[in-house]
Amino acid sequence: DVLSWDWPAERFTGIVSVATLHHLPLAEILRRMRAALRPDGVLAVLDLFRSAGPRDRLLDALNQVKWYHDGTLAYRRSCAHGVCGSDAMTVNHVNRLACKLLMRDLGQKVTVEPLRGFPVVKDLVVDMEPFFAQYRSIKPYFINYDPPPTGEHYQSPEDRARFDDTTKCILCAACTTSCPSYWANPAFVGPAAIVQAHRFIFDSRDQGANERLEALNDRDGVWRCRTIFNCTNACPRDIKITQAIG
């Protein structure tokens, strides 16, 4: 099978679009190759037949592009099971995990972009350092000033239930990069960091609540939230983020 380009290769500065799925011939899955560019980032359009198998995911399509058509394509992935959070990206204008999206559910045309609000390193890879700097600012670790116990720190099911929802965060940044408050002001600590603070503030075994609340009680802290609910809608783990912030 031979791929033909509609435009000269030098026109492309990012992803070269179209994928074939591993168990289908190229001619069956691929009609044409199209690409579009934006002045402010990378935009890839995947034109796929609906003959994709019922279990084929967007991550499978991206893998096929990289492995068989354009090895320069850059994106992050790791566990491929929705746990590591590595492959968060903007898909059809919504932040999603590529490994959790079935091709059959995405329509005839799939638009893939890097997460908004972060500097683009290459293609779908963004610089996550600003995100993790905000994460570190809320001290996301267990703080307890008592002498080490001789046994375990026991916790009742009721105490655990207070923060159980926010323990599900996988630090994919889908929530933070869907937040208009963060787009407008990158100094905003962001919903992911606030979720992590919630996880420890409401942990009955932790004694660092005042330190975290002081960090969040800042002009660029929790008060920047405008309860838009984009973060809750974008979360692949279905965490009630806006409720936790409130």
pLDDT value at 98 more than 60: yes
Rounded to whole angstroms, the Cα distance separating 100 from 86 reads 12
At residue 138 the predicted structure's pLDDT band, cuts being 50, 70 and 90, is very high
| pLDDT value, residue 168 | 96
As given in the structure block, the two tokens for residue 241 are: 């983020």
At residue 54 the predicted structure's pLDDT band, cuts being 50, 70 and 90, is low
Mean pLDDT of the chain: 80
As given in the structure block, the two tokens for residue 35 are: 């690409």
| pLDDT value, residue 50 | 41
pTM assigned to the model: 0.77
Amino acid at position 217, single letter: N
Rounded to whole angstroms, the Cα distance separating 28 from 21 reads 10
Rounded to whole angstroms, the Cα distance separating 29 from 48 reads 6
| pLDDT value, residue 63 | 85
| pLDDT value, residue 7 | 31
Rounded to whole angstroms, the Cα distance separating 155 from 224 reads 33
CB 88 within 8 A of CB 96: yes
Task: Write the secondary structure of 121-159 as one string of H (helix), E (strand) and C (coil).
Answer: EECCEECCHHHHHHHHHCCCCCCCCCCCCCCCCCCCHHH
pLDDT tens digits, 150-197: 988 889 999 999 999 999 999 999 999 999 999 999 999 999 999 999
pLDDT tens digits, 189-238: 999 999 999 999 999 999 999 999 999 999 999 998 988 999 999 999 99
| pLDDT value, residue 109 | 74
% the chain with pLDDT above 70: 78
